[in-house]
Copies of this chain bind each other. A is one copy, B any other.
Amino acid sequence: MIAPFTFRSCLRAHGRSIPTSYGRSLSTSRFQLPPTIRQILSSPEVGETVAVTGWVKSIRKQKRIAFGVLSDGSSAVGLQAVFLDGLGERVKEITNGTSVRVRGSIVKSPGAGQDKELHVEEVEILGTCPPDTYPIQKQALTPEYLRDNTHLRARTDAISAMVRLRGLLMRKLDRYFEHQDFAYAHTPVLTSGDAEGGGEAFRIASIPPSSERPPETEEEREFFARPAYLTVSHQLHLEALSTALTRVYTLSPCFRAERGVTRRHLAEFWMLEAEWGVAPTHDPRTQTAALCDFVEGVVKGVVSDPAIIYGQDVEVLWRHREHDSVPEAERQIRREALASAVTSDAPWPKMTYSEAIRELLKSDQKWTFPIRWGSALQSEHEKWLCETLVGGPLFVTDYPAVIKPFYMRANPLAAGEEEVTVSCFDLLMPYVGELAGGSVREERLDVLKASMESKGMNMDEERYGWYGDLRRFGGAPHVGFGLGFERLVGWVGGIENVRECVPMPRWAGRMVL
């Protein structure tokens, strides 16, 4: 048993304290956790004595010495640990995955690849790890195998890098939105309707009938006295908050009961959604252009942060290629294209849907789905547009009204146009597909009502009436967008399947844990 390593001694050793904005005069030593491996590796000092709790990523034992790598998951890089002679029997017990508490001194490392290493003076085994049955073996493990072992897969380099990257992206996104003076808001997961009318919302089960007195009315059968669904999008609720707070955003879970199983879809996924008021213009297309610029700013502003695009976690994720279908040289090209897309001053190109259709018709590709104005763009079309035609991120704007939801603002007919388009965009990313989509929202009550009717919805019904109220009482021009958080993670990390972009993925037929 190692003598307790007090918070106070740790604080003294590292001179760390909680910044003054937190609690000002508070004595903080009681509150401060000891340094993590990341903090130890990023502090300049050598010669210090530190105590670390972590687990062994790998260990190589020689006769009188052993070399190990310790991880506590705080960093993509582990702490090199040298177990000197005299630690005796205890080192024998250590295998990959064993949890340990070690104490020793940080010294300059003679080896290449690391600045510092830990010379271990005391070691305590916290939890052994049976080498024969440990599911996280050293050899390459398939994504499918790791999905079956979801509870332990964050012990692999790639999954832990992905989890840290998610957290970092979330933090940087929040700071970006804070800078633009948005309020972060929590809109509900449980909703009374299927917002987009796609019929893909999960429904909450009714109350199981008791034998004594079976429920007779909907009010008795349903916990909320009406059917409840899991939200497919937070947009409509965010619009309600935007009526008062003007600039609001959320990063929240969304749910779709899609039976189709692809590498781009999950049943539970996180979306960043934002809504804000804008100045009116004669032509809403002007607003669409400004909306695209804003979204480009969000993605560039966050991803170009060196801690992300040049960070160790992104490095690990792009290097991780055991099971990848893309050859190394091609991966290198893609990664450079990503860095260039987010750091370049050049605006990402914008193209209307009609222009996109013309380009697709001009191409000599063989398409599975025919190209026709008025039909949705399929993955193969989107892929060609951004990967082949443009070679980078691409905004496609002004889609036909008939293939878009009811809440998008109708464009005035331009010269020569016969069909109504709406002021909207899809942001297409190479190898990812649609990363974000948004629109100007229809602020005119009568036009909104007609648009709903054309989609078989009746604004006079209670479940849509409140959405009409947002226009009735001081409604104003506003815009918004949604960005698939797992797709962002996949794009930034070069991860092919969204199931490896979230710690514990759920999809049709599969839910582990």
Contact in complex: A475, B99 (CB < 8 Å):
yes
Chain B residue numbers with a CB within 8 Å of A175 are 22
Q: Per-residue 0/1 for A40-59: is the Cβ within 8 Å of any B Cβ (1 yes, 0 no)?
A: 00000000000101111000
Chain B residue numbers with a CB within 8 Å of A230 are 189, 204
Contact of A345 among B26, B237, B294, B470 (CB under 8 A): B26
Q: Per-residue 0/1 for A310-351: is the Cβ within 8 Å of any B Cβ (1 yes, 0 no)?
A: 000000000000000000000000000000001101010000
Residues of A446-470 at the interface with B, using a CB-CB cut-off of 8 Å, are 466-467, 469-470
Q: Per-residue 0/1 for A1-13: is the Cβ within 8 Å of any B Cβ (1 yes, 0 no)?
A: 1101101000000
Contact in complex: A166, B185 (CB < 8 Å):
yes
How many A residues touch B, CB cutoff 8 Å? 153
A23 to B307, CA, bound (A): 11
Contact in complex: A267, B181 (CB < 8 Å):
no
Chain B residue numbers with a CB within 8 Å of A151 are 240, 243, 466-467, 469-470
CB distance from A208 to the nearest CB of B (A): 9
A172 to B21, CA, bound (A): 10
CB distance from A167 to the nearest CB of B (A): 4
Q: Can you sample 5 A-B contacts with CB below 8 Å? A: A33-B247, A33-B294, A74-B247, A186-B502, A224-B510
Contact of A225 among B56, B130, B133, B509 (CB under 8 A): B509
Contact in complex: B176, A509 (CB < 8 Å):
no
CB distance from A249 to the nearest CB of B (A): 9
A255 to B74, CA, bound (A): 30
Contact in complex: A279, B101 (CB < 8 Å):
yes
Q: Is A66 an interface residue (CB 8 A)?
A: no
A327 to B300, CA, bound (A): 52
Contact in complex: B304, A22 (CB < 8 Å):
yes
Chain B residue numbers with a CB within 8 Å of A159 are 244
Chain B residue numbers with a CB within 8 Å of A1 are 280, 282
A134 to B152, CA, bound (A): 55
Known: A205-B205, A297-B31, A506-B224. A135 touches B477 (CB 8 A): no
Q: Is A476 an interface residue (CB 8 A)?
A: yes
Contact of A245 among B163, B186, B347 (CB under 8 A): B163
Q: Is A355 an interface residue (CB 8 A)?
A: no
Q: Is A129 an interface residue (CB 8 A)?
A: yes
Q: Is A155 an interface residue (CB 8 A)?
A: yes
Binds B, one of A270-278, A372-380, A384-392, A401-409: A270-278
Contact in complex: A152, B240 (CB < 8 Å):
yes
Q: Is A170 an interface residue (CB 8 A)?
A: yes
Contact in complex: B4, A225 (CB < 8 Å):
no
Chain B residue numbers with a CB within 8 Å of A22 are 172, 175-176, 179, 301-302, 304-305
Chain B residue numbers with a CB within 8 Å of A33 are 180-181, 247, 276, 294
Q: Is A361 an interface residue (CB 8 A)?
A: no
Contact in complex: A511, B203 (CB < 8 Å):
no
Residues of A237-267 at the interface with B, using a CB-CB cut-off of 8 Å, are 237, 240-241, 243-248, 252-253, 255, 257, 267
Most chain B CB atoms below 10 A, which of A23, A55, A204 = A23
Contact of A476 among B127, B171, B244, B347 (CB under 8 A): B127
Chain B residue numbers with a CB within 8 Å of A188 are 268, 503-504, 506, 513
Chain B residue numbers with a CB within 8 Å of A345 are 25-27
Contact in complex: A101, B280 (CB < 8 Å):
yes
